[in-house]
Amino acid sequence: MPEGGLKRINKYLSEVGYCSRRAADKLIKQNRVTINGNVPELGTKVAPGDQVAIDGTLVTPTKEEFVYLAFNKPIGIVCTTDTRVEKDNIIDFINYPKRIFPIGRLDKPSEGLIFMTNDGDIVNKILRARNNHEKEYIVSVNKPINDQFIKRMRNGIPVLDTVTRKCTVERLGKNKFRIILTQGLNRQIRRMCEYLGYSVVTLKRVRIMNVNLDVPAGAWRDLTAQEMKEINRLISGSAKTHEVK
């Protein structure tokens, strides 16, 4: 361990299975984290023997095996771990006996596959944008789509001060299409459709990397050993997680 066992506080919270590094940074900014009773800044390091607490409750490293779930998020459920704010949050809905958190998110009006885990390190590897992990969606819009719509969606749409990556888009019906993304901009598909004058009516994520949606809405299952083996192979080239912003 570098620097005599010191770890950045967000890395520490990730490795002990409390939350992802991104979520840890949010907690720190909200002054909900303390180290030996003191409120740290982003980037503060934890030494062996330090007492880390969230909202006054001591954080202890988990000695249990990591949990990896495939969950079919229903419409109306919010992908947040802040159970104080959102009544319809994903944590209370699943009510899993161990502390877990989502890998990424799906908008409240969207549904479909999302991974849940207590392994903070894998979160960063999966979410890291440059890793090009596929996510597949089935989308319906408010009016008929045409060849021009498909072509423009495939070739990139300007959203959020960038242009979306080229992607796979296939028409499934008059108002329905399949899209496979390798990036995860905020409300990306909805923004892409809006740019072309369409509104999303339904949006369901049906695949993440090698895992297909195969449970009913509101249900979850453990990822299989084979699925985890393939996921770990796919993320094996991920950059070091400490580089993740």
Range list for CATH 3.30.70.580 in the chain: 68-129+215-243
Short-list 88, 122, 86, 87, CA closest to 104: 122
107 is catalytic: yes
The correct CATH number of 2-58 out of 3.10.290.10, 3.40.50.150, 3.90.660.10, 3.40.50.620 is 3.10.290.10
Among residues 82, 88, 92, 107, the one annotated as catalytic is: 107
HSE, side-chain direction, 13 A CA sphere, residue 126? 27
Mean per-residue pLDDT pooled into runs of 10, the chain (245 residues): 70 83 90 92 88 89 80 95 81 91 92 93 76 90 97 96 95 97 92 97 97 97 94 75 33
pTM recorded for the entire structure: 0.76
User: In the prediction, which pLDDT does 138 show?
Assistant: 98
Taking residue 181's Cβ as centre, other Cβ atoms within 10 Å add up to 21
User: In the prediction, which pLDDT does 4 show?
Assistant: 54
Short-list 65, 70, 95, 79, CA closest to 20: 79
Range list for CATH 3.30.70.1560 in the chain: 134-208
Short-list 71, 111, 115, 76, CA closest to 203: 111
User: In the prediction, which pLDDT does 94 show?
Assistant: 95
68-129+215-243: CATH number: 3.30.70.580
Count of residues making up the chain: 245
The correct CATH number of 134-208 out of 3.30.450.40, 3.40.630.40, 3.30.390.30, 3.30.70.1560 is 3.30.70.1560
Sign of CA dihedral 216, 93, 69, 97: negative
Report the largest interatomic distance among the alpha carbons of the chain, rounded to a whole angstrom: 62
Range list for CATH 3.10.290.10 in the chain: 2-58
